[in-house]
Structure 1
Amino acid sequence: MIDRILGPLLILDHVTDGQMHLAAIFVVPPGELPGPIDTGQQHVVPTYLLGYPGAEVFRARFSLPADGPSAYIWNGTTYDLAGLPDRNLRLAYASCNGEEHGDLTRDEAERNVMWARLGASHRKAPFSLLLHGGDQIYADEATKGHPLSEDWPDKIPRDPLPHDIADLRAYLRAGFLERYAVQLAQTDYAWLVARVPSLAQWDDHDICDGWGSLQRSRTYSPVGQCLFEVAREATLAFQHGTVAGDLPAKFMDPGGYHLGWQIQTPGLRLLAPDLRSERTRRQVMDEGGWNCIEAQAATPFPGRTLVMSSVPLLGPRLSVLEALMVLIPKMQKYEDDLRDQWQSRAHRASWQRMLRAMMTMQEAPGQDVTILSGEIHLATRATMAASNGEPMHQLVASGITHRSPPKGWARALGALSRLGETPLPGHPIRIRRIPGQRLRYVAQRNALILECKDGSWHAIWEFEQSGSSPPFQI
């Protein structure tokens, strides 16, 4: 049961005609109403969006100028926004906002130390957008406690009765609500997302660990499909401020079969394919997702395109590890983690197809592409050579609250990266060191800041122990 109004959580719907079209989300106790939003030009009363046991979700849609600072007022507080000024803006990117076990009971100050850092950075120089690169929640334990899903995904009932699935749906909905509401109630996170519009791309933990890389007998079972539907409903509400059938203009598929989206402002395009809705053990996206990505790649866009890939697009030869794990019984439980990666042997053709789309954009006159990735709980960067002599950069920031893995794992990946990888002939991939770091992979909690000044882009990593990295031009 929610005991107070949570929010606002500010989400960017789309940008058009010099206006940012925004959605503000509130989670409220049943029977209560969030007050109106005032922009000076609009007086917007939030309306009911979605109901959960013990809580209701309300949404206010409004617009503010995109070309400079603005503000809105709610409940007596003024929330200042930086806007999206042409050629001068700051963006923050974060991923892996939680942990697989015990995330709901972690100490708030310890858990959110990097959110506090981003808040402090925003106070000094405001962010225009907050990009969430996957695993905004860790829903892995939401299946625990119900007889149909207690042993998910190892054991599931073969043919559950409809009323049992209905009971499971209600149970899972309560679990997903709890995870999003607990996050929104935490001070440092809530302060930032009320002042910086969010754009999100989901990944497996927003559903369950390894979704799409598990056996089809699991994901296509009645229990698996119930889990996916509940997770998708929550993702639409809490990450995109909407419900099925009411998708804002940023989504590339109005029907919502996949949740890929794109946003354009002068000199900047943000592109986020959906790498989970259509994923199976043999494909990353279906033709709907591919058609949208390749149409964007074929459409000239002078300036910078930031492509969000929830799993790193440029990486080492993980197929080597994948082959070894199959041979070692104790390591086979990690097989779905490697199947999640673009570099998996099962996805090599898809990986090459995506890289060709990226090169189409990168090698076009007047265009630059940068890949933003998360998922691995480490920070790193990579380049891919392009025929025009300008490398395509990938920036990985992963573990905004997830504690980092052992440093030995970072060293092992660094050693593997020395083998190099060239999935497209003539376009070698290289893993590079972040400025100021000794190893190619950095085992610290981290977030990424992107700064554009007079059209020149720089990347800065914020690390939990070592602080800010020197700005790196991309």
Structure 2
Amino acid sequence: MTVEFDAAHLGPILYYRGLEGDALQLAAMVMLPIGERPETLRTDAGDHAPTLLREIGRSAVWRYDFGLTPSCGSYRLGDQSYDVQTDLHGDMRIAFASCNGEEKGDLDRDQEERNRMWAHMCAEHRRAPFALLLQGGDQIYADEATEGHPLSEDWPDKAGRPRNAEELKDLADHLRLRFAERYVQALFGEAPSWIMARVPTLAIWDDHDICDGWGSLYRSKTHSEVGQCLYAVAREMYLLFQHAAVEGDIPDLFMDETGTSLSWQRALPGVKLLAPDLRAERGRRQVLGAYGWSAVEAMKPGSEHTFVISSVPLLGPRLSLVEGLMLMIPTMQKYEDDLRDQWQSRAHRKEWIRMLKQVIAWREEAPVTILSGEIHLATRAEMGPDETRVHQLVASGIAHRAPPQSYARSLGTLAGLGDAPVSGHPIRIHPLPGQSQRYTAERNYLELRRTHGKWHAVWHLEESGDTVPMVLE
């Protein structure tokens, strides 16, 4: 599949910036051919002119910044009006999704099949509107973006050595276009673009937004000239397409003004959202670096309910046992990066405990629920005694097809061993409501529903349908 960036006017995609009083602060992004001026965005409060963010190939990316209030819940571009849920003080629905693609051949998939769960989300929004869309990582699968250029064709098995700056610049230009075409597919497909024009989004990235296993690969690869070029382009495109932002916007959107860590926090009435960046500083022996930990320690939980977005599940089975076994079997060592990527890896255990203790400290101030994706399965977990229980909800694979049932069963067996890295706070993996296995192998997304002041979780499963609402306390 080849995307012609000057073929059509694309957008808008809506992004959540925060609250000023009762007013939602939003951004809307559009793409159109270079030289064509976007139309004025109109709300009841006035007209809003766009800002040019950057040009890619023959396309330009523009952003509108504006606000909507409970009494002004729509905006207009051209002859199209878009309604947005702006009354957020009572009942509320938030959607959470992750893993929007596949490692191989994603650009060539049938779009109706690929976006089936996005279409389901659109139907749900028409029935009762979502106020926010949280995206928990792997919004694109950029693994094939390195193909087609001599410096990166064999990445990550081999990283080419550029002879001069011009070759490295040519690689950056190649990668920029390849990343952009994947973002165009992910954001501007019929169903995703419909919902994202009406529901503001917030996103955190994971490895496939860069390349498979970024940060768990060996330093000789990630810190090579090709590896650093790949990361720089992926970061630039993540800012642009997942936040409608460029480098100069970082101090306004992220907790680390230097942009070394892209951790963020936001609030809605009665809700706090905390999202530590688990990729920017990741290495084979660390998940977060100094900037990431500074951001985590500065995060403040809400007074009513706090959702923590961990792109990699924070509560999980004892994968260190499998990791040790794999290292003893030469044919299985190729999967080491996948296990090293998890919080539960032996290499990250001290850091994992540190994060768990931070979550427990937040739980002392308010109910805490962890949201995660990454594993292409749906599941849930609990940590701690009943009086200070922490829930984890995993919704993974809105577009990625589910792995075999045998894989889900094997992982469920491993999860039965249990773990308690923090004394007095055992971790338990449970089936979804109505399911018999701990892990459900179906495409899915998650709904967080506040009704009469209480939060509930509902998984929307491709084959099994919707789960019974589960109370979050």
TM-score by length of 2: 0.97
1:24 partner amino acid: A
Cα separation, partners in 2 of 1:204 and 1:300, compared to 1, 3 Å: closer
Alpha-carbon deviation of 1:248?
Answer: 6.2
Among 162, 169, 175, the alignment partner of 2:178 is 175
> Could you tell me whether the CA contact under 8 Å between 2:458 and 2:466 is conserved in 1?
yes
Among 234, 257, 262, the alignment partner of 1:259 is 262
> Could you tell me whether the CA contact under 8 Å between 2:162 and 2:168 is conserved in 1?
no
- Give the corresponding residue for 2:82: 79
Task: Quote the Cα distance in structure 1 between the aligned partners of 2:395 and 2:181.
Answer: 26
SS at match of 2:359: helix
2:318 partner amino acid: R
- Give the corresponding residue for 2:432: 434
Cα separation, partners in 2 of 1:137 and 1:12, compared to 1, 3 Å: same
Could you report, residue by residue, the CA deviation over 1:53-89 in whole angstroms, capped at 9, with x for unpaired residues?
1211011111112x57711111211111112512421
- Give the corresponding residue for 2:169: 166
Cα separation, partners in 2 of 1:411 and 1:128, compared to 1, 3 Å: same
Cα separation, partners in 2 of 1:226 and 1:212, compared to 1, 3 Å: same
SS at match of 1:270: strand
2:406 partner amino acid: G
The within-5 A match list for 1:296-335 is: 296=299, 299=300, 301-335=302-336
Higher deviation after alignment, 136-145 or 79-88: 79-88
- Give the corresponding residue for 2:389: 391
Alpha-carbon deviation of 1:407?
Answer: 0.6
Task: Quote the Cα distance in structure 1 between the aligned partners of 2:437 and 2:163.
Answer: 50
SS at match of 2:361: helix
TM-score by length of 1: 0.97
Tell whether 2:335 aligns with 1:338: no
Tell whether 2:54 aligns with 1:56: no
> Could you tell me whether the CA contact under 8 Å between 2:272 and 2:301 is conserved in 1?
no
- Give the corresponding residue for 2:38: 34
Could you report, residue by residue, the CA deviation over 1:183-239 in whole angstroms, capped at 9, with x for unpaired residues?
233101110000000000000000000000000001000000000000001000100
- Residue segments in structure 1 that go unaligned for 5+ positions in a row: none
> Could you tell me whether the CA contact under 8 Å between 1:5 and 1:28 is conserved in 2?
yes
Task: Quote the Cα distance in structure 1 between the aligned partners of 2:185 and 2:370.
Answer: 30
Alpha-carbon deviation of 1:263?
Answer: 0.5
The within-5 A match list for 1:91-110 is: 91-110=94-113
- Give the corresponding residue for 2:25: 21
- Give the corresponding residue for 2:417: 419
Task: Quote the Cα distance in structure 1 between the aligned partners of 2:317 and 2:100.
Answer: 24
Cα separation, partners in 2 of 1:69 and 1:38, compared to 1, 3 Å: closer
Among 395, 401, 404, the alignment partner of 1:406 is 404
Task: Quote the Cα distance in structure 2 between the aligned partners of 1:208 and 1:282.
Answer: 18
Cα separation, partners in 2 of 1:248 and 1:198, compared to 1, 3 Å: farther
Task: Quote the Cα distance in structure 1 between the aligned partners of 2:237 and 2:431.
Answer: 37
Alpha-carbon deviation of 1:444?
Answer: 0.3
SS at match of 2:445: strand
Matched residue pairs, number? 468
Task: Quote the Cα distance in structure 2 between the aligned partners of 1:248 and 1:470.
Answer: 41
Alpha-carbon deviation of 1:160?
Answer: 3.9
SS at match of 2:449: strand
- Give the corresponding residue for 2:128: 125
Task: Quote the Cα distance in structure 2 between the aligned partners of 1:216 and 1:68.
Answer: 53
Cα separation, partners in 2 of 1:84 and 1:142, compared to 1, 3 Å: farther
- Give the corresponding residue for 1:289: 292
Tell whether 2:123 aligns with 1:116: no
Alpha-carbon deviation of 1:45?
Answer: 1.8
Tell whether 2:186 aligns with 1:188: no
Task: Quote the Cα distance in structure 1 between the aligned partners of 2:91 and 2:122.
Answer: 19
Task: Quote the Cα distance in structure 1 between the aligned partners of 2:87 and 2:303.
Answer: 17
SS at match of 2:151: coil
1:17 partner amino acid: G
2:456 partner amino acid: H
1:226 partner amino acid: C
Tell whether 2:359 aligns with 1:355: no
CA RMSD of aligned residues (A): 1.3
- Give the corresponding residue for 2:372: 373
* Sequence identity (%): 54
Task: Quote the Cα distance in structure 2 between the aligned partners of 1:11 and 1:230.
Answer: 21
SS at match of 1:28: strand
2:390 partner amino acid: M
SS at match of 1:11: strand
Cα separation, partners in 2 of 1:307 and 1:84, compared to 1, 3 Å: farther
Alpha-carbon deviation of 1:300?
Answer: 5.6
The within-5 A match list for 1:189-268 is: 189-247=192-250, 249-268=252-271
1:376 partner amino acid: I
> Could you tell me whether the CA contact under 8 Å between 2:100 and 2:186 is conserved in 1?
no
Could you report, residue by residue, the CA deviation over 1:392-427 in whole angstroms, capped at 9, with x for unpaired residues?
000000000000111111001100011000010110
Could you report, residue by residue, the CA deviation over 1:418-458 in whole angstroms, capped at 9, with x for unpaired residues?
10000101100000111111100000000000000121000
Higher deviation after alignment, 252-261 or 341-350: 252-261
Could you report, residue by residue, the CA deviation over 1:272-308 in whole angstroms, capped at 9, with x for unpaired residues?
0100001011111112111221222xx4631100000
Task: Quote the Cα distance in structure 2 between the aligned partners of 1:108 and 1:400.
Answer: 13
